[in-house]
Structures are given as C-alpha cells and as structure tokens.
Amino acid sequence: MFGHSWVSQYGANPAGLAGDTWGTVLAGLTGEQIAQGMRETLALGSDWPPSAPRFRAMCIGIPSLAATQHAMRTGATDPFTRQAWTYIDSFQFRSADADQAARMMRDAHELTVRFVMDGGELPAEPVAAIAVDPAPEHVPASPDFARQRIEEIQRQLGAGEVA
C-alpha cells in the first residue's frame, strides 16, 4: 500500500526489528480487525503509513483526537465519545474557555484510548432518558370557587368581609 514510504521507514525484511515490533503490536487481533485497520488507513489518504500503535488503535475502532473532539462538540453518542465524557467534569467544561475545553477533550481522549487499549469495554448503549410525565393542563378556578376560598381564608385569618 505504501511502497517506498514503507520500506524507507520499516525496511523490506519482514523478519527484522520492524516485523517483530509490528507482530507484537498486532498480536491478538482478528483478521477482521486488521482488515478494519487497513480500511481506516486507506481512508486517511496519507502517503505515509501510520505508526504501529496508531494502526492497532485503528484496528480496534479508536478514533483520532480530531474525530473525538468533533464528536464531543456535535453531541455524538457513539460508545467511544460516551466513554470519553466520563473523564470530563461537565460543570468545569461548560465554564471553561476554548483552550481549557480543548485540553479537557485531549485528556479525555487520551484516557479513553488507554482504557480501550487496556481491554476496557465501551458502553454499548446510552442510558435511556428518564421519562417525565407532562404537567397537567392548568384549569383556572371559577370565580365562585375563588370567592369561596378567599372568604374561607379571611375567616381563618380573622379578616373582615370580602367586598
């Protein structure tokens, strides 16, 4: 896929140090995961291959920092973004300036990457919102009922007659 770019970076010998490194990094991945990493690599449109750790991350579905930041800004609810939000104090985030918010998102992305790379399970589905019954329609009291209530309150307070 990368031709000379690959060879200049990793060499042509698959039995060398680069082959050992990539073999270690890719150990435990399924063929489908590696195929996913290849599709993600192709989608990057880069002339250079990703690093071995970045390729592994792409194989197991870890989005880039830019993709995560975009997802967080747009309210996406994918599992990776939901997990990243668990590392952010939402009160501090809402009151942060742009630089502070960006740092918080970077930190959350880094922690989520570590969580997934260490074998953590991303949340499968968002928690459903708590259903709230709509407020009953307000029906104002009739003038007679209101007058009776006012008279009763005045009697209890020892006030005079209602005019």
Q: What totals of helices (H) and strands (E) does the chain contain, helices first? A: 9, 0
| Per-residue pLDDT tens over the stretch 33-74 | 999 999 988 988 888 888 888 899 999 989 999 999 999 889
pLDDT of residue 92: 93
One-letter identity of residue 71: A
The token duo for 146 is: 């209101």
Residues 40 and 24 in one domain: yes
pLDDT of residue 163: 55
| Per-residue pLDDT tens over the stretch 105-139 | 999 999 999 999 888 998 877 666 677 778 888 88
Nearest to 64 by CA among 120, 117, 109: 109
Residues 57 and 111 in one domain: no
Domain count, the chain: 2
Q: Are 52 and 21 in contact (CB under 8 A)?
A: yes
Residues 72 and 112 in one domain: yes
Residues 71 and 21 in one domain: no
Q: Is residue 105 part of a domain?
A: yes
Range of the domain at 51: 1-61
